[in-house]
Amino acid sequence: QGQLVESGGGLVQVGDSLRLTCAASIRNFGSYTMAWFRQAPGKEREFVAAIHWSGATTHYADAVRGRFTISREKVKNAVYLQMDSLMPEDTAVYYCAADQSSYIHVETAPYDYWGQGTQVTVSS
């Protein structure tokens, strides 16, 4: 059994920044590839960013590359998503996910654990 808890969401204005945190209670957390997904109202859940279990590789969706940064802190069992230059189209519920594989997946199916999500709203 494992648990992921997201925090850090909120209501911000265009151009602002937010930092999301995912606190993980997963055995052998260091062996999991971690990712952030998001889901806007009426849309499917989409990949945002991921970081390999080694921390050596990251991958971003085209829509956020250059604005968002994913990082992890194994000692604290935490993953972060630094979001800069936020835009209204970034408005969504953001989910943290964990995948016990050696590959970075952009699909939702391979991920073993999911958090409950945190709302990010960007107002224009």
Check residue 1 and give its pLDDT: 78
Check residue 21 and give its pLDDT: 98
Could you give the CA distance from residue 105 to residue 99 in angstroms, rounded to a whole number? 8
Could you give the CA distance from residue 20 to residue 48 in angstroms, rounded to a whole number? 12
Percent of the residues in the chain that have a pLDDT greater than 70, as a whole number = 100
Q: Mind listing the pLDDT tens digit of every residue in the chain (124 residues)?
A: 789 999 999 999 999 999 999 999 999 999 999 999 999 999 999 999 999 999 899 999 999 999 999 999 999 999 999 999 999 999 999 999 999 988 999 999 999 999 999 999 999 9
- Asked if 81 contacts 49 with a C-beta cutoff of 8 angstroms, the reply is yes
Could you give the CA distance from residue 63 to residue 55 in angstroms, rounded to a whole number? 22
34-63 confidence digits (pLDDT tens): 999 999 999 999 999 999 999 899 999 999
Could you give the CA distance from residue 92 to residue 105 in angstroms, rounded to a whole number? 20
What residues form DSSP beta bridges with 46? 38
Q: What is the DSSP string of 39-90?
A: E-TTS--EEEEEE-TTSS-EEE-TTTBTTEEEEEEGGGTEEEEEE-S--GGG
